[in-house]
Amino acid sequence: MRILLTGATGYIGKRLLPALVNHGHEVICCVRDAKRFNPPKHLDGHIEVVEVDFLKKDTLKNIPEGIDAAYYLIHSMSGSSGKFNELESKSAHNFNKAVAGKKIEQVIYLSGIVNEETLSKHLASRKEVENILSQGNFALTTLRAGIIVGSGSASFEIIRDLVEKLPVMITPRWLNTRCQPVGITDVILFLSSVLHNKATYNDNYDIGGPDVLTYKEMLLGFAKARKLKRWIFTLPVMTPKLSSYWLFFVTSTSYRLAVTLVDSMKVEVVCSDDRLAKLLDIETISYAEALAKAFSKINQHVVPSSWKDSLVSGRMSENLSEYIEVPVYGCLKDKRDVKVKDTDKVLDRIWALGGETGWYYGNWLWKLRGFLDKLVGGVGLRRGRTNVNDINAGDSLDFWRVLYANKDEKRLLLFAEMKVPGEAWLEFIIDDGVLYQTATFRPRGLWGRLYWYSIFPIHGLVFGGMLRELNNTK
C-alpha cells in the first residue's frame, strides 16, 4: 500500500515510519522542511519525501496521487501564538481539502483521551480536529491516547528530570490526577495494526496500558525503577501559572509547553474501555515495562526520536532553510582558526559537543549562561542532545539548534535558541587541515550591540579555550 505519513519529523512519525516500511508499505512522508528530515539509510527506496505545510495552501499540491491510506499526526499544541487550537483546526480543514480527490480509503488520527465533559484547551482542540476529519470523504479511525511513555517522549523526559534532580518535591495538587499511561511500542503497534482493518473504520478507540496511576504514583514508580528514594508532598493550592513555572524551571520543557501540559494534567485521562486491544489481540505492557524499554534504548544510545528536537521546544518556528545562510552585513563576528593535528579526531570531538560532553572549556560558564537563560524564559541547557554519536539538522543541542551537519563536508552550523537581543550562529568548518570556528551575531538595535561588547571578553576566554580543546586529540 501507498501510505501518506504526515508529521513524519515528529516524535510518533519517526517511530511509525520504520514499522510501516517493515510491513512492506511505500510511505510518502509529508514534511514542512526536508532539511530537517533524516530517515535511516536502510529506508531509502521505500519512501518518498514531499514538502507540505498544511497551514499553507500553496504547498498542498505537492501531495501525490495514488494514496491508499494516510496517518494524521499533526499537532500544534505549543504554537508560539497561543492559538494552537486555531492552527490545528486550519490544518485539519486544509488536509480534508488536499486529499478530497485522491480516493484515500482510510485516515488514522492519533488524538487524546476525552472522557470528561470539561476538557483542557489542548484536549478540546484534539477533539475538534477529530470532528473536522470525520467530515472528510474517507473512513476515519481515531486512536485516543493519554500519557505516552518512551525514550525521548515529553512525558518521560519531564518525569525523568523531576525524579533524578529533586530528592524532595513540593508539588501542585494535580499530581493526584489519575491517568492511564501507554508505552510507545504499544502506540506504534496499535497505529500499524488498524491500517486497512475495516472493522476499525469510522470509529474511535481509547488506548492505554494496564495501569491506572496518579501522576504522583508515576513519579514514585520511576524513582523505584531507578532505585532512588524520593519524597513528594502536594500543596492544596498552587495556581496554574506557578505550576507552569515549576515545570519550566525544573525540567527541560519550554514554558509554552509547560502551560499546555499543566492545563491538561488537571483533567483525568483514563480509557473508557479496551475494545481495540481485544479486537486486535494486543496485550499492552505495564508502566514499569515501558520505563525499562525506554532506558534500554537510552543505554544503547539508540533513541529514535525526541520531543526536544521539535522546533517548538525552542525559539524557532519557521523552516531551518531561512537561517542556513549566515548573514554578513550588519553582523559582529568572533573568528578563530587553528591548524588541526588529526582531522578525524577533531571532527569526532566537534560531533560530540553538548549534552554530557559539554563544550570542552569553561563548562561552568556555559551552565551559568544556561541558568540565566532559564531565568528570562529561555530554553537553558537542559535539553541536551538526543543521540550521543550523531547530529542531524533540526536536532536540539543544549540551547542551540542544528541547522546543518555534514561530517563528509566537515561542517557543523548551529543557531542560538537562548534569549539574546538579536540572532546568533556558531559554525565549525575544517578545510585544508585548518579548523575555522566562527561566532556570528546579528544585533537587534543598540541593546544588541551593548550585549555583544559586554560579553566580548568572556567570548575570548570561552571560544578561544574551546578551539584549543577541540584540537587537543591526545
Same domain, 174 and 224: yes
Is position 315 within any domain? Answer: no
* Burial (0-12, 13-18, 19+ Cβ within 10 Å), 299: exposed
Same domain, 285 and 358: no
Same domain, 141 and 275: yes
Is position 314 within any domain? Answer: no
395 with 386: CB under 8 angstroms? yes
Q: What is the pLDDT of residues 286-335, one digit of tens each?
A: 999 999 998 888 777 667 777 666 655 555 555 566 667 788 788 899 99
Domain boundary among 300, 317, 342: 300
Model confidence, pTM:
0.80
141 with 107: CB under 8 angstroms? yes
- Angle (nearest 5°) at CA 438 between 454 and 432: 155
Same domain, 104 and 44: yes
Exposure on the CB side of residue 82, measured as CA atoms within 13 A: 3
- Residue 79: is its pLDDT beyond 50? no
Same domain, 207 and 289: yes
State what percent of residues in the chain have pLDDT above 90: 38
pLDDT at residue number 80: 44
Tell me which residue has cell 499492552. 284
Same domain, 349 and 239: no
Same domain, 288 and 342: no
Same domain, 291 and 371: no
Is position 310 within any domain? Answer: no
Backbone angles phi, psi at 408, to 5 degrees: -65, -40
Give strand pairing partners of 433: none
CA quadruple 396, 398, 400, 405: dihedral sign: negative
Structural domain including 413 reads: 325-470
Is position 309 within any domain? Answer: no
Is position 319 within any domain? Answer: no
Is position 148 within any domain? Answer: yes
Domain boundary among 245, 265, 300: 300
CATH of the domain at 20: 3.40.50.720
As a three-state string, the secondary structure of 44-88 is CCCEEEEECCCCCHHHHHHCCCCCCEEEECCCCCCCCCCCHHHHH
Instruction: State how far the Cα of 122 lies from the Cα of 264, in Å rounded to an integer.
Output: 7
Same domain, 361 and 397: yes
Average pLDDT over residues 357-366: 90
Q: What is the pLDDT of residues 152-209, one digit of tens each?
A: 888 888 888 888 888 988 887 778 889 999 999 999 999 999 999 999 999 999 999 9
Same domain, 265 and 356: no
Q: What is the pLDDT of residues 112-147, one digit of tens each?
A: 887 666 666 667 777 888 889 989 889 999 999 988
Is position 305 within any domain? Answer: no
Is position 10 within any domain? Answer: yes
129 with 92: CB under 8 angstroms? yes
Q: What is the pLDDT of residues 19-69, one digit of tens each?
A: 999 999 999 999 888 877 888 888 888 899 999 888 888 898 898 888 999
DSSP per residue over 209-221, as a string? -S--EEHHHHHHH
Domains contained in the chain, number? 2
Instruction: State how far the Cα of 320 lies from the Cα of 90, in Å rounded to an integer.
Output: 23
pLDDT at residue number 308: 66
366 with 462: CB under 8 angstroms? yes
CATH of the domain at 359: 3.30.530.20
Nearest to residue 122, comparing CAs of 138, 145, 142, 98? 145
Same domain, 338 and 296: no
pLDDT at residue number 71: 96
Same domain, 32 and 162: yes
- Helix axis angle for 287-299 and 184-193, nearest 10°, is 100
Average per-residue pLDDT in the chain?
85
pLDDT at residue number 322: 63
Q: Say which residues have a Cβ less than 8 Å from residue 461's Cβ, sequence separation at least 6.
A: 362, 365
